[in-house]
C-alpha cells in the first residue's frame, strides 16, 4: 500500500510562479497562510533578514532567487551575468551574517564559472543545475519523511522541539493513515514559540493529536515516561554527527540520554564542518526575549541573553536520519 503524502505548507515554503517567488510568511502562522511576493534579490534579502521564512525556507529562498534573477537578466553578456550572479550571492551572504549562506551561494557561483570554463551558456547551465539540485533535495526530503514514518510505531508518544519544516507532520500523516496510534508533544520553544505556532498548527492540519508543553516540562515528561521517542531537526550538522539546533535541544538530548529515550535527529551532514566546535552560535537581540509580540514581558531594566542555537554532541544522538544536500556527492 502506498500512501499519498499530504504536503505541509512548511515542507516547501517558497514556490516559483512565473516572475515571482511566493514565500510563506511563517511569522503569521497560525493566524493565516499568507505568501509574500518576492520579485528580486533585495526583496529576498528582506524576507530572510526579517525572518519571515526560516531554516529550510531560507535555504530554499536563497537558491530560488537565482532562478528568478536568471530570467530577469536576459539581456546581459556572459561576463556581466557572472558579475550579476556574484553580486546576488554577496547580497544574500550579508543578509544574516552569522548564517552560512555562502556555502549555498558558492555552489551557484561555481556552476556559472564551470559554464564559462566549459564554453557553454551560463543561463541554461546554471538553471538546469539549480532545478535539478532543488528537485533532488525535494526527493531526498520526501524519502526521509517515509524513513521518519517507519521509525514511529503504534503506541508511540513522541516529543519534538521547535519545528521540523514539514517532515515530522507529514510522517505523522502517513502513520495516521497506517492506523498507528501515536501522540505528539510539542515544546513551546521560547522565545519565538515555533513549537506552539508552527508545529502544533501543522500537526493539527494533519489531523494528528498534539499536546503543547512548556520547555520546562521535558524533564517531567521523561521522568514520568510520558514520551518514548524524541525527534528533532537540525539547523547545521557536522561530519562527526554533532549538530546545532534551536536553543533547548541540548537539554532535551541530555535528559533523553539519562532515561534511555531514543533521540533521533534529522541532519544534513556537511563535510565542511568537522565538529560542533566549528559551528558559530548566533546571539540574537535580547529584545526578542523580553517582548512577546508587541507586549513587553518585563518592564524593568534587565539584560537578556538569547543564544539562538545550541550544539548537541553526537554521543547523545541515538540515530541520525541524514540527507546529503551537497552538490557534489
Query: Which x/- pattern, by CB under 8 A, does the window 25-54 give for its own copies?
Result: -----xx-----------------------
Give me the torsion for CA of 164, 169, 175, 179, rounded to 10°.
150
Nearer to its own copies, 113 or 290 (CB): 290
220 interacts with its own copies by CB under 8 A:
yes
- Residue 141, Cα to own-chain centre: how many angstroms? 11
What does R_g of the chain's alpha carbons equal in angstroms? 20
**What is the nearest approach in angstroms of its own copies to the Cβ of residue 195?**
9
Q: Does 256 bind its own copies (CB under 8 A)?
A: no
Exactly one of 26, 156, 167, 188 binds its own copies (CB under 8 A); that residue is: 188
Using the Cα atoms of residue 267, residue 65, residue 57 and residue 312 in order, give the sign of their dihedral. Answer: positive
Task: Give the residues across from 15 on adjacent strands.
Answer: 22
Kindly tell me which of 208 and 323 has the beta carbon lying closer to its own copies: 208
Q: How far apart are the first and last CA of the chain?
A: 31
CA distance 282 to 233: 17
Q: From the list 23, 65, 68, 311, which residue makes contact with its own copies (rule: CB under 8 A)?
A: 311
238 lines the binding site for its own copies (CB under 8 A): no
- CA pair distance 195, 187, nearest whole angstrom: 5
Q: 248 to each of 162, 224, 258, 283, 312, how far by Cα in Å?
A: 9, 20, 16, 14, 10
Contact between 315 and its own copies by CB under 8 A: the answer reads no
78-93 vs 101-118: helix crossing angle, rounded to 10: 170
Q: Are 163 and 27 in contact (CB under 8 A)?
A: no
CB of 305 to its own copies, least distance (A): 5
Q: Is 233 in the site for its own copies (CB under 8 A)?
A: no
Helix (H) or strand (E) holding 21: strand 20-24
Dmax of the chain from CA atoms? 66
Q: How far, in Å, CA of 131 to CA of 298, rounded?
A: 47
Per CB under 8 A, 200 contacts its own copies: yes
Does 267 engage in binding with its own copies (CB under 8 A)? no
CB 187 within 8 A of CB 256: no
Q: What are the Cα distances from residue 148, in Å, to 141, 234, 240? A: 10, 14, 21
243 touches its own copies by CB under 8 A = no
214 binding its own copies? (CB under 8 A): yes
- What residues act catalytically? 235
Under rule CB under 8 A, which residues in 90-109 are in contact with its own copies? none
Chosen residue from 123, 144, 190, 229 binding its own copies by CB under 8 A: 190
Nearer residue to its own copies within complex by CB, 219 or 320: 219
Q: Is residue 139 a contact point for its own copies (CB under 8 A)?
A: no
Nearer to its own copies, 67 or 290 (CB): 290
Q: Which is nearer to its own copies, 153 or 220 (CB)?
A: 220
Nearer to its own copies, 201 or 243 (CB): 201
Helix axes of 122-151 and 101-118: crossing angle, nearest 10 degrees: 140
Q: Which residue has the cell 533547548?
A: 248
Please pick, from the candidates 7, 22, 103, 215, the single residue that binds its own copies as defined by CB under 8 A.
Answer: 215
CB of 323 to its own copies, least distance (A): 26
Site for its own copies, rule CB under 8 A? 30-31, 185, 188-191, 193, 196-197, 200-201, 204, 209-221, 223, 246-248, 250-251, 254-255, 258, 281, 286, 289-290, 292-293, 295, 297-307, 310-311
Amino acid at each position: 500500500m502506498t500512501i499519498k503524502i499530504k504536503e505541509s505548507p512548511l515542507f516547501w515554503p517558497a514556490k516559483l510562479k512565473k516572475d515571482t517567488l511566493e514565500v510563506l510568511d511563517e511569522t503569521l502562522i497560525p493566524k493565516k497562510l499568507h505568501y509574500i511576493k518576492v520579485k528580486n534579490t533585495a526583496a529576498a534579502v528582506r524576507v530572510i533578514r526579517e525572518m519571515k521564512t526560516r531554516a529550510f525556507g531560507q535555504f530554499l529562498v536563497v537558491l530560488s532567487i537565482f532562478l528568478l534573477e536568471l530570467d530577469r537578466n536576459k539581456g546581459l553578456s556572459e561576463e556581466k551575468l557572472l558579475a550579476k550572479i556574484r553580486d546576488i550571492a554577496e547580497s544574500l551572504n550579508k543578509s544574516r551574517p552569522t548564517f552560512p549562506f555562502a556555502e549555498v551561494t558558492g555552489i551557484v557561483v561555481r556552476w556559472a564559472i564551470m559554464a564559462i570554463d566549459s564554453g557553454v551558456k551560463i543561463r541554461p547551465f546554471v538553471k538546469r543545475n539549480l532545478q535539478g539540485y532543488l528537485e533532488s533535495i525535494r526527493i531526498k526530503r520526501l524519502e526521509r519523511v517515509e524513513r521518519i514514518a517507519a521509525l514511529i510505531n503504534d503506541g508511540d508518544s513522541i516529543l519534538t522541539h521547535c519545528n521540523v519544516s514539514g517532515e515530522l507532520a507529514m510522517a505523522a500523516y502517513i502513520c495516521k493513515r497506517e492506523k498507528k496510534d501515536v501522540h505528539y508533544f510539542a515544546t513551546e520553544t521560547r522565545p519565538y514559540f515555533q513549537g506552539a505556532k508552527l508545529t502544533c498548527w501543522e500537526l493539527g492540519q494533519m489531523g494528528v493529536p498534539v499536546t503543547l508543553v512548556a520547555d520546562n516540562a521535558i524533564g517531567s515528561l521523561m521522568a514520568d515516561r510520558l514520551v518514548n521517542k524524541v525527534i528533532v531537526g537540525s539547523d547545521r550538522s557536522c561530519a562527526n554527527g554533532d549538530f546545532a539546533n534551536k536553543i533547548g535541544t541540548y537539554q532535551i538530548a541530555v535528559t533523553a540520554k539519562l532515561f534511555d529515550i531514543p533521540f533521533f535527529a534529522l541532519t544534513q551532514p556537511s563535510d565542511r564542518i568537522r565538529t560542533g566546535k566549528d559551528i558559530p552560535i548566533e546571539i540574537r537581540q535580547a529584545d526578542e526575549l523580553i517582548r512577546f509580540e508587541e507586549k513587553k514581558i518585563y518592564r524593568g531594566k534587565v539584560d537578556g541573553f538569547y543564544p539562538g542555537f545550541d550544539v548537541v554532541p553526537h554521543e547523545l544522538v541515538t540515530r541520525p536520519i541524514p540527507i546529503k544536500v551537497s552538490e557534489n556527492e
